[in-house]
Each structure stands twice: as structure tokens, then as C-alpha cells.
Structure 1
Amino acid sequence: MKTMQVGRAKLTWLDGGVTHMDGGAMFGVVPKPLWSRKYPVNEKNQIELRTDPILIDIDGKKMIIDSGIGNNKLTEKELRNYGVKEESKIEQSLNVLGLSRHDIDYVLMTHLHFDHACGLTMWEEDHLVPAFPEAKIFTNATEWEEMRNPNIRSKNTYWEENWKPVEELVHTYQDSVEIVPGLRMIHTSGHSNGHSIIVFEDGDETFIHMADIMPTHAHQNVLWVLAYDDYPVTSVHEKQKWMAYGYERKAWYVFYHDASYCALQFDQDGKVLNELKREPHSYPGE
């Protein structure tokens, strides 16, 4: 597992599973000859997207960003269509660190699409229970409302089995919330109406998790947004704002989905200063 320190925050990438999504959908109107130079694509036009929660330890409080693809939550058809070659191994990752699911104090949900929220619940015999039973789950109020009352389009990604068992653990906010000193969740909209990013600042050290308005390093260009985005123009404006904010502070940008990088640090001009690469990974059948 990869780790890094940013000020008081120690970050560790857990093994949350992997999907393979359509590259055209992930880059929207950007032509394939452009995006495929920056991010590998397979013969099915799919790109590899990890679903790895980021464990953060700040002042003794342990929290994770998003929850992974989960286990035994998808049908055979969904596993095939979404290219899920491995499901979550979060419990094993935590055990290596001497932790368990009960040690997580907060779960920070940037949004509640299935590839981020399936790991919120787990099977206990024949029923679903909270995967992190001691944790407070934070998500934006707009996102929580849509999760529970999806529309004709969003019902394909907001699943009842991912929210109903945990509804007593959920805490919502409107514009922003400070989880611990220096760590904020900030509502952006864009990818979904309730989408949020996560910003941590400690003196001169900063990390920003842009979630799915910048899911991979190849989405650094503010105009490169997803066809999945509900409000793509909002995504562009929010990216523009938060990339400028991070560049000025030489912030680390940390990723849940990126198959090549856990984190990248950019200078004032948006050029890479430092990088934290993922370990090479092979999947069954490759």
C-alpha cells in the first residue's frame, strides 16, 4: 500500500477494487486521439479506473474518502459491463495496518454513485449491514436527497442497498463542513448535483481531492470533463477555480480512480513537481 504525509495528515491507499469504464464516456467530447495519448485504453475502448478509498489519519482520527466497489454487490452482467476484475479488499488492507472496520471514525463520501458507495454496506449472512459501523458518514445534503429519491437517469447509479442500511449514520451539510481542523468537504456540483471535493491545509502543505471532476491525471485540463457529468459546465468552472487554488499553493492532488498515480504535486504553472505512483498491478486472466 502506498502512503504519504502532508502536514499532519498521513494518507494510505487501500485496495478497493477496480473497474474498466468506456473511455469515450470518461472523456466526453474530447477526441480519442487526444485522450488516449494521456491514458491507456484497451481493445474494448475501456480505461482502467481503480476504486481505492484513501485512509487519512489526522490527530488520531481515522477516516476514509469513499468506500470502494464493495463485495458481492453487482450482478454478473454488471461485473462484466463495468469491467470489475477485482472487488474490494479493504478489510485485508486495514488488517495489514493493524486496524479493522470498527476503527474508522468518519467516511467522507464525495458523492454516492455505485462505484464510490457500494463499499458502505456489506453482507452479513443474508442481509446488508454498515461496513463501518462506528463511523459518521458525511455527504452533501443534495447528494443524500438524490440518493434516496433518484430520477429516471440517476436510479442506475443510486442504489437503495447502498444507503438504507447506513441511513442512521449519515450526516449532511449544505456548502461545506470541517471534519477536523484543516480538513474540509466542499460542495461543487458538476459531476452530480451534490458532488463535493475535499481540501486539507496545514500551514504551507495542502492536498486536494477533486473526486470525479478530476478522476485521473489525464483530466487535468479544465475543459476535459466526463460525459457522465450531470452539469458539465459547472464541472469546468469548479475545476478552473480549484486547479488555480491548488497551483498557487503547490498542492498535492490525490486520486481515488487513477490507475497510474496515487497523487501528483503541481507547481504554479500546473507542471508536475512530484509524484506518487501506484504499484504495477495485474488481474486474474491477464
Structure 2
Amino acid sequence: MESLSIGKVQLTWLDGGMTNLDGGAMFGVVPKPLWSKKYPANEKNQIELPTDPIFIQVDGKNCLVESGLGKGKLTEKQLRNFGVTKESNLEASLESLGLSPEEIDYIFMTHMHFDHACGLTKLVDGEYVSVFPNAKIITSKVEWDEMRSPNIRSKNTYWKENWEAIANQVEPFEEKWTMGPITMVHTGGHSNGHSILMIEDGGEMAIHMADLMATHAHQNVLWVMAYDDYPMDSIYAKEKWQQYAMEKNAWFTFYHDAFYRAVKWGADGQIVESLKRNR
């Protein structure tokens, strides 16, 4: 498992599963000859997209960023449509760190689309139960409201199987939420309730822009997904927060990138430092 230190805060990537989604959808209006140079596609025009949560231990608390793809929840049709080649091994990843799901104190959900939220619950004796029963689940109020009352478009990704069993654990925030060196900020864009996460400690910084910048190949502020509900909000937020983070020489961390866990970019837009994902 790959790890990155931000001051005294350590980030460790866990195994949350693997999807393969349509490259055109992931890069929106960007022509394939451009995006495929940065992120290759297979013969079906799919690109490899992990769903790997980040474990953070801070101030004596065990935290997760996102929850992975889950295991045993998707139908054969869903597994096929989402190009799932591997379901989550999140509990085994935690075990390798000497932890159980019951020891997780916080889960930071940038948004609650299925590929981020399926790992929150699991089937036990025919009923969905919380995988992390003692965790406080932090997400924006806008996201939590839509999760429970999705619209005609978002109902395809906001599933009751992923929220009903954990409803009493969710602590929604309005615009900003902070705990020690960790801050979540509501941005909108990819979803109306989408948030980003920042870690600042010891003069160092990491920014997790989640699905506003799903992979290193989404660095260009105009390269946004066809999946984004509010693409102009995505562009605005990417421009604002990318500039802010670049000025602080921040690491950009990823949940979906098949090649990098984190990168730093120079002023010329080239990667100057990176933590590669073991493939």
C-alpha cells in the first residue's frame, strides 16, 4: 500500500475495487486524440479507474476518505456496465494495518455516488447494515439531501441501499467542516453537493479534489466529465482551488487514478513530484 506524509499526517491508499468506464464520458467534450495521450483506453474505449479510499490517522482518530465499491452489492448487469474487474478488499486492507471497520471514527464523503458510497453498507442476513458502525460520516447537507431524494438524473447513482442503514451516522455540514488539519469545503460541480478535502500540517498541504479532478489527466480546468451535473461549477471550482493549492506547492491526491496516488505540478503544468500507484 502506498503512503504519503503531510507534516505529521500520513495518508495510506487502500484497495476499494476497480471499474472501467467509458473514456468519452470521463473526459466530456475533450476529443479522444487529446485525452488518450494522457490516459490510455482499452479496445472498448474504457479507461481503468480504481475506487481506492485513503486512510488517515490524525489526532488519535482513524479516518477514511470515501468507502470504495463494496463487495457483493452489484448485480451481474451492473458489474458488466461499470466494467468492474475487482470488487473492494477494504476490510482486508484495514486488517493489514491492524484495524477493524469498528475502529474507524470518521468517513469523509466528498459525494455519495455509488462508486464512492457502496462500501458504506453490506448485506447481512438479507438486510443492509453499516460496515463502519462507530464512524461519523461527514458530507455536505446538499449532498445528503439529494442522496435521500434524488432527481430523475441522479437516482441512477444515489441508492437507498447505500444510505438507509447509515442515516443515523451522517453529520452533514453547510459550506465548510474542519477537524484539526483537515478541512472539507462544499464546491458543487460534479454533483450539486460535491466537496473537496484539504490537509495542512507542518507547512505542507494535500488537496483531494475528488471527482472535480478524478485523475492526473483532468488537470486542465476545462477537462470535465460528461457525468458532471453542473460543469460550469466544476470549472469554476477547479480553477479556484487548483490555483490556491499550486501557490502552496500542494500535493494533489486521487481516488480514481490508475497511475498516480498523488502528484505535484510545476508552474509549467508538468509533474515535478509523484507517488505512483503500484500496478
Per the normalisation by structure 2, the TM-score is: 0.98
Q: Distance in 2 between matches of 1:21 and 1:254?
A: 20
Structure 1 residue 240: deviation in Å?
Answer: 0.4
Q: Which residue of 2 aligns with 1:283?
A: none
Identity of aligned residues (%): 59
Q: Which residue of 2 aligns with 1:132?
A: 132
Counterpart contact for 2:8–2:202, Cα < 8 Å:
no
| 1:104 and 2:104 are equivalent in the alignment | yes
Q: Which residue of 1 aligns with 2:201?
A: 202
Q: Which residue of 2 aligns with 1:44?
A: 44
Helix, strand or coil at the partner of 1:37: helix
Mark the runs of 5 or more structure 2 residues left unpaired by the alignment: none
| 1:259 and 2:273 are equivalent in the alignment | no
Q: Which residue of 2 aligns with 1:2?
A: 2
Q: Which residue of 2 aligns with 1:53?
A: 53
Q: Distance in 1 between matches of 2:244 and 2:267?
A: 9
Q: Distance in 2 between matches of 1:258 and 1:225?
A: 15
Structure 1 residue 151: deviation in Å?
Answer: 0.7
Q: Distance in 2 between matches of 1:264 and 1:133?
A: 33
Pairwise mapping of residues 152-191 of structure 1 onto structure 2 (< 5 A)?
A: 152-178=152-178, 180-191=179-190
Helix, strand or coil at the partner of 2:123: strand
Q: Which residue of 2 aligns with 1:229?
A: 228
Task: State the one-letter code of the partner of 1:216.
Answer: T
Q: Distance in 1 between matches of 2:206 and 2:270?
A: 16
Q: Distance in 2 between matches of 1:60 and 1:52?
A: 22
Task: State the one-letter code of the partner of 1:183.
Answer: I
| 1:71 and 2:59 are equivalent in the alignment | no
Helix, strand or coil at the partner of 1:94: helix
Counterpart contact for 1:51–1:68, Cα < 8 Å:
yes
Q: Which residue of 1 aligns with 2:218?
A: 219
| Cα RMSD, aligned residues only | 0.9
Counterpart contact for 1:249–1:268, Cα < 8 Å:
no
Task: State the one-letter code of the partner of 1:271.
Answer: Q
Structure 1 residue 267: deviation in Å?
Answer: 3.2
Task: State the one-letter code of the partner of 2:171.
Answer: H
Q: Distance in 1 between matches of 2:190 and 2:68?
A: 18
Mark the runs of 5 or more structure 1 residues left unpaired by the alignment: 281-286
Over residues 95-149 of structure 1, what are the superposed CA-to-partner deviations in whole Å (9 max), with x where a residue is unaligned? 1111110111100000000000000101222111101111000010000000000
Pairwise mapping of residues 232-247 of structure 1 onto structure 2 (< 5 A)?
A: 232-247=231-246
Helix, strand or coil at the partner of 2:38: coil
How many equivalent pairs are there?
279
* CA separation of 1:270 and 1:249: change in aligned 2, threshold 3 A: farther
Counterpart contact for 1:108–1:137, Cα < 8 Å:
yes
Per the normalisation by structure 1, the TM-score is: 0.96
